[in-house]
Amino acid sequence: MTLTERFLKYVSFNTTSDENTKMTPSTPGQMIFAQYLVEELKSIGLQDVDLDKNGYIMATLPANTDKEIPTIGFISHMDTSPDMSGKNIKARIVENYDGNDILLNEEKVIVLETEKYPEILQYKGQDIIVTDGTTLLGADDKAGITEIVTAMEYLIAHPEIKHGKIRVGFTPDEEIGQGADHFDVPKFGAEWAYTLDGGEIGELEFENFNAAAAKVTFKGLNVHPGYAKHKMLNSMRVAHQFVSMLPRHETPEHTEKYEGFYHLVGMEGSVEQSSLSYIIRDHDRDRFERRKKEMQHITNKINAEFGEGTATLELRDQYYNMREKVEPVMHIVDLAFEAMESVGVKPNVKPIRGGTDGSRLSYEGLPCPNIFAGGHNFHGRFEYVPVQSMEKAMMVVVKIAELLAKK
């Protein structure tokens, strides 16, 4: 099976995750895909292939040399984002892309426009896999899985490439922040690992956001509006006031690079009770802590104005910046950097404006930088991935194993 055929097979599985089911994996499609992967890993020759009750896959490519070489791992996630449907994905290959807009869906007039997505122009002449505009594609992160499996198959087929023991791990529910919840780091048994969960070709990341989730609940008092003077407390208006008290331009649409933000992701309301759901992000740990304190400060001001108990804040840390855990072992980043250069990829070291399984795994004792998987426009109808980017990512995995053995 070619890399492209493998990827197209993988995206045919509906593996959208769902944070509301309170199960692991959160959706049955992920376990169905996991069972398929288990059989495939066995068929290509990996050993110790294991699928646990929570949908986590681990497998081993044994060393083919007697040299003392650290055991390393490669990890990707099986689920796709609930932001858009991942069911009945109709992927197609735009061969020898000509640099023009791509008509994804003639009936619905859905067009991937180069003016809106100019990054695609760098792939002129390459083969690009797109959707029909009604679903996401699933390159996040089935491209990563494709690259890892194909790299293991390549190493098995080329025993002249010496390598140490390699562990492979595929996780469920990364997109809903639960990908590392049941990952057994001691069982995995690697000294370090790499997630293949990045975007465009060349991305190499070892720092990410510190992240927290916040929910603010507002209690009001409903009275007949004709007789409400000095009696009614409209919780929706109080919630609106809370929103307006946060810094106006510290939101995702106004920030980039190392700038953090408050992001309102959900709101519900009636006169009697309303709620706001936020995510809080910042690369700098001190600024991250200050952002959480600011949420509490505004909650206190609301209660001072409208009465104690009007607003209640629930804060929950989600993950932290992996840089703190990776910096002491920067040779693992240097190795990936060298591997990229060796296969003709220009490394683009940049911060992740988000998080990966690797950020949490790094804090659990498995330092885990992130390598590009090749896709663009994740989580939406305009997602695409160049075939040549996936091929390069696959060769980066191979080259990491090869270079480590030589060192």
Do 53 and 140 sit in the same domain of this protein?
yes
Do 125 and 151 sit in the same domain of this protein?
yes
Q: 282 catalytic, yes or no?
A: no
Query: Of 262, 285, 319, which closes a domain?
Result: 319
Do 168 and 198 sit in the same domain of this protein?
yes
Q: 132 catalytic, yes or no?
A: no
Do 268 and 352 sit in the same domain of this protein?
no
Query: Of 275, 304, 319, which closes a domain?
Result: 319
Do 350 and 366 sit in the same domain of this protein?
yes
HSE-up (13 A, CA, CB side) for residue 197: 30
The pLDDT assigned to 101 comes to: 97
How far is Cα 212 from Cα 263, in angstroms, rounded to an integer? 11
Do 53 and 162 sit in the same domain of this protein?
yes
192-198 vs 166-171, strand pairing mode: unpaired
Do 175 and 217 sit in the same domain of this protein?
no
Q: Which residue has the tokens 């690697």?
A: 190
CATH number of the domain bearing residue 246 = 3.30.70.360
Residue ranges making up the domain that contains 301:
210-319
Q: Which residue has the tokens 């896709």?
A: 375
Do 29 and 145 sit in the same domain of this protein?
yes
Do 87 and 130 sit in the same domain of this protein?
yes
Do 335 and 304 sit in the same domain of this protein?
no
Do 77 and 214 sit in the same domain of this protein?
no
Q: Of these residues, 79, 141, 173, 205, which one is catalytic? A: 79
Spell out a b/e string for 353-363, using b for 16 or more CB atoms within 10 Å of the CB, else e.
Answer: bebbbbbbbbb
Query: Of 319, 353, 373, which closes a domain?
Result: 319
CATH number of the domain bearing residue 354 = 3.40.630.10
How far is Cα 193 from Cα 199, in angstroms, rounded to an integer? 18
Per-residue confidence in pLDDT tens, the chain, 407 aa: 899 999 999 999 999 999 899 999 999 999 999 999 999 999 999 999 999 999 999 999 999 999 999 999 999 999 999 999 999 999 999 999 999 999 999 999 999 999 999 999 999 999 999 999 999 999 999 999 999 999 999 999 999 999 999 999 999 999 988 899 999 999 999 999 999 998 999 999 999 999 999 999 999 999 999 999 999 999 999 999 999 999 999 999 999 999 999 999 999 999 999 999 999 999 999 999 999 999 999 999 999 999 999 999 999 998 899 999 999 999 999 999 999 999 999 999 989 888 778 889 999 999 999 999 999 999 999 999 999 999 999 999 999 999 999 98
Domain count, the chain: 2
Do 152 and 187 sit in the same domain of this protein?
yes
Q: Of these residues, 132, 140, 174, 282, which one is catalytic? A: 174
